[in-house]
A and B are shown apart, each in its own frame.
Chain A
């Protein structure tokens, strides 16, 4: 038994407070398998670890590359331009060919137990208003059916292939994405979230309570009847960083402990929330990149791990990499 501790300040007096809190014995709970985006940018942002348990891939062919390079156990897979969003015959044809090669083709012995969550990236940003086109719904239905394909003997053909719906917190909170995408709910296994720090663009960066944004996505996933919950993308700049370059101490004094602790806490909170709702954890991937500036848009928030890597092992890359081990 351990005490929970705190203190009250009454006028100028500090009064320490403690009370006994007995946690349940550690359970053999599943946790999100942790990883990072599989970048093909040139030059790549350094990931510092090459044994991530998960990866986020943006092309079908990259999934096998990530398994070969990192030994990944799980992959969030999206964005391949060869997969139609609205033509179910085309989409299932492409995915079936890929799945056959991935799970049964050359070198597949190393991949047969790899979990793949397949879906469109942040689909709420593709369909921001109105009702979903019928082709989108039908494509989702047929891709889910493909994931559930049975062999002639009744066994699952792709037991580790899951159909996912990836949605941004912003879309659900402000743009009615939960209701708009609800027709896809019967056709998914995994509800995946882009779960960035909602205050990452504030200056200084804010560190909101997890319940203020994680719960909405968990509750939406639960209401959809999703069996699994994943974080396909997350990230935040360091505390008091320059909003574009990521340099420390832009406004005030950088607290180097903030980002690693907040990111590890996000995983703990999400894992607990998944279990509390009776779902199962899929993958948790950090987006170790920064959207570059364009002619019309400024650069995105500097999420990259490099901004506190000089503090290793008290850095975000280590905290994230080791998070799979955190009870």
Chain B
């Protein structure tokens, strides 16, 4: 699945002196869990056909690493928080 991203603002119409929280939300970057399936084949021994089966487990694929650019808005000082997805700004 293709990853998508969006912002979530806790207050999209703030007043002077309010602090706005801007959070990135990423969806679809889930990776793939480990999966297994059978590999089948047939061996021919003389006139005898021998079906052969073995189970193969493919490894899980981790989600892609994520990083976040500082959000930009004219006239606002937007600051990082301890969570790299979350930013804040005080409305002057």
Which A residues fall within an 8 A CB radius of B? 2-11, 13, 15, 17-24, 27, 29, 209-211, 265, 268-269, 271-273, 275-276, 327
A21 to B88, CA, bound (A): 13
Considering only CB atoms and an 8 Å cut-off, how many residues of chain B contact the other chain?
40
Q: A2-B74, A13-B3 are in contact. Are A29 and B16 (CB under 8 A)?
A: yes
Residue of A nearest to B71 (CB): A6
A327 to B15, CA, bound (A): 15
Residues of A within 8 A of B71 (CB): 4-6, 17
Contact residue among B7, B65, B88 (Cβ-Cβ distance under 8 Å from A17): B7
Residues 42-74 of chain B, each 1 if its beta carbon lies under 8 Å from chain A, else 0 = 000000000000000000000011111111111
CB pair A21–B9 under 8 Å, yes or no, is: yes
Q: A10-B26, A265-B77 are in contact. Are A24 and B67 (CB under 8 A)?
A: no
Q: Is B17 engaged at the interface, CB distance under 8 Å to the other chain? A: yes
Residues of A within 8 A of B65 (CB): 10-11
Distance to closest chain B CB from A10 (angstroms): 4
CB pair B77–A268 under 8 Å, yes or no, is: yes
CB pair A19–B12 under 8 Å, yes or no, is: yes
CB pair B5–A27 under 8 Å, yes or no, is: no
CB pair A9–B66 under 8 Å, yes or no, is: yes
Contact residue among A3, A19, A269 (Cβ-Cβ distance under 8 Å from B90): A269
Residues of B within 8 A of A275 (CB): 16-17, 92
CB pair B92–A268 under 8 Å, yes or no, is: yes
CB pair B73–A21 under 8 Å, yes or no, is: yes
Starting from the known contacts A10-B29, A271-B92, 17 additional A-B residue pairs (CB-CB under 8 Å) come to A6-B69, A7-B5, A7-B68, A8-B5, A8-B69, A9-B69, A10-B5, A11-B64, A13-B64, A19-B22, A21-B14, A23-B75, A23-B76, A24-B16, A29-B16, A269-B77, A276-B19
Residue of B nearest to A266 (CB): B77
Contacts A/B (CB < 8 Å), 8 sampled: A6-B69, A17-B5, A19-B22, A24-B15, A209-B79, A271-B92, A272-B90, A275-B92
Residues of A within 8 A of B4 (CB): 15
Residue of A nearest to B2 (CB): A13
Q: Most chain-A Cβ atoms within 10 A of its Cβ — which of B3, B13, B17, B70?
A: B17
A265 to B92, CA, bound (A): 11
Distance to closest chain B CB from A7 (angstroms): 4
User: A-B pairs with the 9 shortest C-beta distances?
Assistant: A11-B64, A276-B17, A19-B7, A6-B71, A272-B92, A8-B5, A272-B90, A209-B79, A4-B73
Contact residue among A17, A265, A272 (Cβ-Cβ distance under 8 Å from B6): A17
Residues of A within 8 A of B26 (CB): 8, 10, 15
Residues of A within 8 A of B91 (CB): 23-24, 272
A93 to B65, CA, bound (A): 68
A200 to B73, CA, bound (A): 26
Residues of B within 8 A of A276 (CB): 17-19, 90
CB pair B79–A10 under 8 Å, yes or no, is: no
A209 to B70, CA, bound (A): 12
Distance to closest chain B CB from A229 (angstroms): 14
Q: A4-B7, A29-B92 are in contact. Are A209 and B80 (CB under 8 A)?
A: yes
Residue of B nearest to A261 (CB): B77
Residue of A nearest to B73 (CB): A4
Residues of A within 8 A of B20 (CB): 21
Distance to closest chain A CB from B60 (angstroms): 16
A273 to B79, CA, bound (A): 14
A246 to B73, CA, bound (A): 32
Residues of A within 8 A of B12 (CB): 19-22
Residues of B within 8 A of A4 (CB): 7, 9, 22, 71-73, 76
A243 to B6, CA, bound (A): 42
Residues of A within 8 A of B72 (CB): 4-6
